[in-house]
Amino acid sequence: MTDPHDRANYCYRHPDRQSFVLCQRCGRTICGECQTPAAVGVHCPECVKEARGNAPRLQPQVVGRVRSASRRGVPVVTYGIIGVTLAVFLLQLVTGTGNGVVTRALAFYAPLEIVQPWRAVTTMLVHGSILHILFNMYSLYIFGAELERQLGRGRFAALYFLSGIGGSAAVALLAPGNFVVGASGAIFGLMAAFFVIARSLGGRSIQLLVLVGINLAIGFIVPGIAWQAHLGGIVVGGVIAFLFSKTRHRSKRAVQIAVLVAIGVVVVAALLVRSAQLVGLL
């Protein structure tokens, strides 16, 4: 039987194991199984657990850079969309921009929407040519960066993607047989939002209105351009921007979120109902 006076010479976690090694932090006796090597001496399990809990959590370098950029006001959502879109276009170049596997998998086609609902979003990532993507990404860089700083990342993301989905919904309603690619619906939504917000703040935006009008007119004149998507994006983007301009005060945030969700539900429902009609489900 172990002498009670010699208990200090036995591991505090394993009373049947004699040891003369002490934890460098708390001074308790620990056996070989309970010892964790430290910079100086060894530590017991409790001290190791406490040290880990108090240690600063490390994060991947890229995560740290993104968070740092966010705190500095860098439009990370805008840059993220541009980066992903360019990456998808590189895949299109490899597989074929016109009828390649990536284009076919992601482009919008109204009759398929009811069974492949992601196409209303993924169509914003695929483009028909280098000029097509350059125009859209440059416009996103110009208008998106400024709108993201004004609205915040969450509101800007909602504006961009709902405008794009609104463009797809307009195509489904007005030109259901068209095979459509591009972020033009979302881009025109940003332009409309920029105009509405500028006007609400008392700014002069005649030049922007002329720019939007010219680009919208080109869609009617030049063949192969889905002017329907442009029109849908303008309507949805303008409505959302009007909502934001009228609910800027913090006390109206709940109303803003509720109406924004309602707009999203209406746009998505219109798209899915039209798609179901096209395939004979309704």
Here the tokens at position 218 are: 């080109």
- Please give the angle made by the CA atoms of 264, 102 and 94, to the nearest 5 degrees: 140
Nearest one of 106, 104, 100 to 119, comparing CA atoms: 106
Which residues are tagged catalytic? 184, 230
Query: Other C-beta atoms within 10 Å of 63: how many?
Result: 10
**Alpha carbon distances (Å) from 158 to 18, 80, 121, 238, 244:** 65, 14, 12, 13, 11
Residue type, 244: F
Identify the three-state secondary structure at position 268: helix
- Please give the angle made by the CA atoms of 257, 141 and 246, to the nearest 5 degrees: 30
DSSP β-bridge partners for residue 270: none
DSSP β-bridge partners for residue 42: 37
Quote the CA–CA distance of 101 and 79 in Å, as a whole number: 26
The CA dihedral of 224, 226, 228, 230, to the nearest 10 degrees, is: -130
